[in-house]
Amino acid sequence: MQEKKLCEGQELICINVDKVYDWIVKENSFDIFPTGAISFPGILPTTTLVGATVSCDVTPAAMNPIVITNRDNRPFCIDGKNVMLQQLNIQKNFDVTILVTLASGLVLTSAIIPVSRCEQVTLCAPEGTDVAITYTDLDCFVCSPGTFTIDTTALTITFTGLNISVATCQSIQSTFPVTVEFLADYCEPRDDLPTACPPPMRPQQCSVVFPDGGNCCH
């Protein structure tokens, strides 16, 4: 191995990092139609839905937010070169909650509704690489609330014709851990910020009252 020349203050460093094999950003949206009786633990015997409005919230599932269900090798010709890429079948899992805002301002939150959607993505992601999805934007809105009725005994609200739209902007990467070597400069601490001591402070005087300016001694 050829010896590498180091400049003063430099060090040859090996670190463990994740090499990015491929990276795409894409948008995707889909609709869900929750039906039937949905649990709302905050319902009271006196709760009424007159004047209520419906909204929603969506987050990646707490468990297994993405699952690679299949990974197939597919040949492609890109810029005149033959390359083997992978077609991934990705199952994305979400937790959706429905929010019902009553006329009084009280907000009822539903139990979590698990939602799954699948899509195909083509990446350089050979067997052994990890695939991660980061949502740069994940939001939902109620396209149509439909009609809804309440059961104050069962603590449920039954929706008919509820349409929720989910929109995602997703960053999808395939990565693999590697060890890399590079020359690095030593870091130096920054200079401390200059601080000036405040001048001595004298309390404000009441010279009009004291001392008595009209009785000077000579």
pLDDT digits (tens, 9 = 90+) for 90-118: 999 999 999 999 999 999 999 999 999 99
Segment 164-180 shows an average pLDDT of 95
Segment 118-127 shows an average pLDDT of 93
The pLDDT confidence band at residue 147, using thresholds 50, 70 and 90, is very high
Distance CA 113, CA 156 (A): 13
Distance CA 57, CA 166 (A): 9
Judged against a pLDDT cut of 80, whether residue 5 lies above it is answered with no
Residue 121, number of CB atoms within 10 A of its CB: 20
Residue 94's pLDDT is 97
Judged against a pLDDT cut of 90, whether residue 189 lies above it is answered with no
Residue 9's pLDDT is 66
| C-beta of residue 47 within 8 angstroms of C-beta of residue 153 | no
Residue 90, number of CB atoms within 10 A of its CB: 20
SS3 37: strand
Segment 64-73 shows an average pLDDT of 95
- Which of 75, 86, 154, 155 has its CA nearest to residue 121? 86
Higher pLDDT, 10 or 120: 120
Q: What is the pTM of this model?
A: 0.76
Find where tokens 């690489």 sit: 129
Judged against a pLDDT cut of 80, whether residue 136 lies above it is answered with yes
- Return the amino acid letter for 166: V
Judged against a pLDDT cut of 80, whether residue 205 lies above it is answered with no
| C-beta of residue 70 within 8 angstroms of C-beta of residue 37 | no
Tell me how far the alpha carbon of residue 211 is from its chain's centroid: 68
Plot region of 209 (φ>0 → left; ψ -120 to 50 → alpha; else → beta): alpha
- Which of 63, 70, 160 has its CA nearest to residue 120? 70
14-61 pLDDT, tens digit per residue, is 999 999 999 999 999 999 999 989 999 999 999 999 999 999 999 999
Mean residue pLDDT across the chain:
89
